Chain A
Amino acid sequence: MVIVKRKQLSFSEKLYLPEILKGMSMTFRAMFKPRTTRQYPEEPLPVNEVTRGQPRLATNDEDGSIRCVSCGLCEAACPAYAITIDGQDTDRNAITIGGDVTEKFIEREPESFDIDMLRCILCGFCEEACPKDAIFMSDELELADFNRNDLIYGLDKLKRPVSQLRPRIDYIYKVNERWQAPSSTR
């Protein structure tokens, strides 16, 4: 057991008012000192490619088509069960990148792709699981709305052109290069 002795207050402390004035003077002095905190939200957070913001789905710059083939690996990897995907058949043909046909058929694409942003914990497992370079953590961090349903993002809210995600994609490849050769579909 520890016995804590109460501090004996001095006479001026007991008077209360001098201490208040002392405190106020500190406050007033700080007003004219340079600011040390960020003026959020007027001054947004700095972001860079290492920022692990909300996941977004990449669309090809060539034709705006979605890269995702609805394989469900991100859904399976998601520890927060935030992702729900339904697939469908598609007739969309091969994507061509830099003159090479990288795939014969896409065959399958998401009919719906929902991420419940309230469940998403921004862990980046989906990004890591994706075999098709289709989902990446963007630098978008802000999330506010008046009801929960609007925070379940569907395809319309998740699609981003690949060029916008490029710094993150390059960063991920750089990190992954440690154990795997960069793929040509990049």
Chain B
Amino acid sequence: MIKITVNGREVEADPTKPLIAACDDSGIDVPRYCYHPAMEPKGSCRICQVEVSEGGRPGRVMAACRTQVSEGMVVNTEADGAHDARRECLEFLLKNHPLDCPICDKAGECTLQDYSFQEQQAAGRTGEPRANLEKRVDLGDVIMLDQERCILCTRCVRFQEEVTKKPELTNAGLASNSYITTFAGRPLTGNYQGNLADVCPVGALTLKPFRFKARVWNLEKSSSTCAECSRGCSISVEVLRRGDVKRIRPVFNPDVNQWWMCDTGRFSFPEVNDPERLLGGLVANGADLMGSTTGEAIKHAASVLSTSGSKVLIASPFLTVEEAERVQPLAAAIGAELLFVSPDANDLKDDLLHTGDPCPNRKGLENAGFRGISPKDAADRVTGADAAVLVGERILKLLGGFDLGATKLVTFDTTACLASGVEACIATPFYVEKAGTWINVDGHEGELTIARPLPSSVSPLETSLEELTKTLSRTGASV
């Protein structure tokens, strides 16, 4: 570590990193387009210019992302010369920019907008027509490219070269006719394409599944943890008008996912927007299932459980640590073993993030004394018992359809099970509607926060479980 002075303040700097990283570490904001901490600095956009003076010489304006720090360096990010340089840079960038912010999905989180506003640079001095490039280039299932909006920072190219190590994009053409394209126009592949839209500082690469779905300033963002594998990437869950989740994006977490996430997780949000979700509860009424409140369903479940013989309890690997704590006393009350469904690893495993294990809280459940069993084993145990309790999000989906036989079933899930033999279904929240903890494959805790309000007819799983346990102990005492 060496010492440099930035804006009159002495700060520590890592000599192996460029000056812009030292500014970031000390909380001083320097504009950037092409610099990304995960990639080799390229120095192509020149927006990061700051005034640097070394050894008492007069300050010179230089690109902070391509400047090595040296002992005693004096940096002024707000010097007039630096602002002039940035304004000139912006004038060039905007020269060929279509400025179609009203239809651009990046608007609102676009740094081109932000820096033009900050630097008060909007007007240009040329009357030349703007470049005429392709506005809608379909790059496969995930990404749409607008070549006119591209500022040629090549972050996308470097992301593939340096992070996924599978280059598919390139910068073609010469000088002002340069554009981004895929090799031979082939569509993009892989499970990390969504990150391209995140690294692109402008609206050139946008997500097709999010295309025109919402304006970003209308989205309410909450930090959470991804549910699709045991890596548990830190994410931001973005909800429109307290209803549907419209977008999931990675949040920087140096211990888990860095800046990235896979497309499986990113586009998993339809799962939590299920219009058919169960509200309240269902209780068996003769051969039919009848709608009820969760309270009634729990009462019915308690009476069924207290009158049947052998019982099993199967938990979902989506249970949070806090929910698992409430399952333990319930399992003890009905005399069942602590088990959770642990599906086979899927083929999504890769070297970057995805672990191939679809259980987001495997570690947490194992720490709490649960044992993982295969879905087939779980189904056999359910059909072999007199009564069974299935607890947790997606448990019905994980077990798949099976014939219940004579087993009486009580389920806690976001959906209902309509098979005959089902005694009670109790609605539970989706993971975006609960607060709790998951423990990932490396033992890191991933926090869940409430990203959207729970419907009034659904109670938190912890509450439902506690209530069932309490009701059971009361009926047990009276029997």
A residues touching B (Cβ–Cβ < 8 Å)? 69-73, 75-76, 84, 87-89, 104-108, 131-132
Contact = CB atoms under 8 A, between A and B. Distances in A.
A106 B136 CA distance: 12
B28 interface: no
A84 B215 CA distance: 11
B211 interface: yes
Given A104-B135, A105-B135, A105-B136, A72 B103 contact: no
A85 B199 CA distance: 28
A81 to B, nearest CB: 11
A87 B107 contact: no
Contacts of A84: 241
Given A71-B101, A105-B136, A76 B212 contact: no
Given A88-B212, A108-B103, A132-B102, A72 B135 contact: no
Contacts of B212: 70, 87-89, 107-108
Nearest to B102: A71
Interface residues of B, number: 15
A72 to B, nearest CB: 4
Given A108-B103, A131-B102, A72 B215 contact: yes
Contacts, number: 39
B218 interface: yes
B215 A89 contact: no
Given A87-B212, A108-B212, A76 B102 contact: no
Contact of B217 (A76, A106, A108, A131): A76
A108 B135 CA distance: 13
Nearest to B218: A72
Interface in B105-149: 107, 135-136
Interface in B302-336: none
Given A76-B217, A104-B135, A105-B136, A71 B211 contact: no
B186 interface: no
Contacts of A106: 103
Task: Give me the 6 closest cross-chain CB pairs, A-B, nearest first.
Answer: A71-B102, A72-B215, A87-B212, A108-B103, A108-B212, A107-B103
Nearest to B98: A104
Nearest to A104: B135
A87 B215 CA distance: 9
Nearest to A130: B102
Contacts of B135: 104-105, 107
B213 interface: yes
A129 B211 CA distance: 23
A69 B105 CA distance: 12
With most chain A CB atoms within 10 A of its CB, the pick from B135, B136, B215, B241 is B215
Contacts of A104: 135
A87 B213 CA distance: 6
Contacts of B218: 72, 75
A108 B102 CA distance: 9
B274 to A, nearest CB: 19
A70 B218 CA distance: 13
Contacts of B217: 72, 76
